[in-house]
Structure formats: C-alpha cells, structure tokens
Amino acid sequence: MDPSSSRSAEGDSAAHARPAYQPAWTHGREHAVTTALTGEHPDPATDEVGRVRPLRVVRGADEPDLVAAERAAFAFLAALGVELDTESLSATPARMARAYAELFTPRPFDLTTFPNDAGYDELIIARSIPVHSVCEHHLLPFIGVAHVGYLPGDRILGLSKLARVVELFARRPQVQERLTQQIADWLRENVAPRGVGVVVEAEHLCMTVRGVRATNTSTVTSALHGQLRNDASSRAEFFSIVAPSRATS
C-alpha cells in the first residue's frame, strides 16, 4: 500500500473525527455579558436632549439547542438505568432539557439609572434577592438570597435592576464565590458608585443531598469595593444592615 495514500486516509479520518471538547461557558468576566445600547444615536451615551439612555444587557451566548439537549438527556438517563418507556417518564428528557435551558438563560434587561438630584449619599440596599443557580461541579442547584448595596455617586440605579444583575450572573453553571464577585464587579464598572457591597448566602444541594449530606448548611460569601471596602465604619454599617436577614433566614 502506498504510504502517502495511508497518510491521506488517516488525515481524512482525523478531519471527520469528533472535535476536541471545548467548554461552552467561560469564566472570564469580559465574556460574561454583552452590553448593548438601545437605539442609534451619534452619542452612544445620551439621546438628542442629553438624557442618558438605558443600556440593554443581554447574555453573550448562543441559543440553546433543545433538540440536542433532549437527546443527550435521554442517553444520560438511559445510561444510569432509568426506564424511559413509561407514560410518566417518556417526556422527562425534554422536560430536563427545557429546565436546564431555563436555569442557564438569564432574561435580558435595560440598565435604567436616574440622576441623583437630591444628592443622596447613604447606603441603598436590596436585601433577600432570590438566588437560583447551579453548581458547576455537580450541576445541582444552589439556592439562597443575595443582599446587594451601594453608595451612589452621580446616578442611582432602578431598584429592580439589582435583582436583574443577580440573575444575570446566577443563571449559568457557577460557584458562589465567583458569583458574588461578578455581581460586585459589574455594578462597580457599570454604575460608578462610591462603594459596592454584596453578600450571598445559599444552600448547595451538592453537599446536602449527596456526598457529606450536611443538611441545613448554608454558605456565606461577600465582596466589597470602594468606600465599603476601605472605610471601616461604612463596612460595619453595611454588614449590620444585612445581618438581621442572615439571622432569620
């Protein structure tokens, strides 16, 4: 056999081989979201009369392939010995695919801010924002709350947007430490406050329903920027306001 034809056959085989696994989710903050302005104006920050326009915030990710996900879910469950030919379980792979697609897809939103006309310079805190995320190590949920606060600068943020930002970073395979830091970093970079504080407390099913099975265990993480990190009295005030929620949750 001609060696060159052998090498050619090997090359053709390699060309049609399954590509190397590439993770679909990136940990880099610069790839976490795509922020796009609504409308088309010469000045990308303001409209014709000088008003600041809201930013449209969307995830920078491909649309989920639910058909492929359903097939993979069927193969996964069948490999674990789950009988899928019953009336109750026949549609489970499709439900599983849709459920994970929902868990991994945050809703887009407009980042609405307003002039701080009154010169308000005290803390603004939204407590007990629901957190629903998925542990990236076991793909089991972790569920809890986030307490998000900031010291405003020239502009104040629409209150619902604090919950939107939490969802933006929670709806993906995550670890709680990174989630907490990403929320704080994003607010610092996009709102320009004098300080930011974030506390996340959550129950991780990967350690309560499997493995060590440590029921009733919660994990608490925090991230601080600006005055809330550098000024001891501001930091103490922030933690004293969010502490009662932690004690009763």
pLDDT band (50, 70, 90) for residue 244:
low
Residue with more model confidence, 39 or 185: 185
Quote the mean pLDDT of the chain: 82
> Which pLDDT tens digit goes with each residue over 142-191?
999 999 999 999 999 999 999 999 999 999 999 999 999 999 999 999 99
CA atoms within 13 A on the CB side of 42: 3
Our answer to whether residue 136 is catalytic in this structure is yes
Task: Identify which of 103, 105, 108, 113 has the alpha carbon closest to the alpha carbon of residue 187.
Answer: 113
Is 50 exceeded by the pLDDT of residue 11?
no
> Identity (one letter) of the amino acid at 151?
L
pLDDT of residue 10: 46
For the residues 39-47, what does the mean pLDDT come to? 42
Our answer to whether residue 83 is catalytic in this structure is no
DSSP H or E stretch at residue 183: helix 176-191
Q: Is 110 exposed, middle or buried (0-12, 13-18, 19+ CB in 10 A)?
A: middle
Our answer to whether residue 147 is catalytic in this structure is no
pLDDT of residue 71: 96
Catalytic residue, candidates 10, 83, 137, 177: 137
pLDDT of residue 46: 54
Residue 32 neighbours by CB distance under 10 Å = 19
Catalytic residue, candidates 174, 203, 204, 227: 204
Note the pTM of the prediction, 2 decimals: 0.77
pLDDT of residue 182: 97
Our answer to whether residue 167 is catalytic in this structure is no
> Which pLDDT tens digit goes with each residue over 64-90?
899 999 999 999 999 999 999 999 999
For the residues 81-110, what does the mean pLDDT come to? 94
Q: Which domains does the chain have, with CATH numbers?
A: 113-248 (3.30.1130.10)
pLDDT of residue 243: 87
Is 60 exceeded by the pLDDT of residue 8?
no
Is 50 exceeded by the pLDDT of residue 227?
yes
pLDDT of residue 41: 33
Catalytic residue, candidates 147, 167, 176, 181: 176
pLDDT of residue 45: 52
Distance, in Å, from the CA atom of 24 to the CA atom of 197, rounded to the nearest integer, reads 30
pLDDT band (50, 70, 90) for residue 47:
low
Our answer to whether residue 135 is catalytic in this structure is yes
Catalytic residue, candidates 70, 135, 181, 201: 135
pLDDT band (50, 70, 90) for residue 60:
low
Is 90 exceeded by the pLDDT of residue 20?
no
DSSP H or E stretch at residue 110: strand 109-111
Is 60 exceeded by the pLDDT of residue 248?
no
Q: How would DSSP label each residue in 208-225?
A: HSSTT--TT--EEEEEEE
Is 60 exceeded by the pLDDT of residue 247?
no
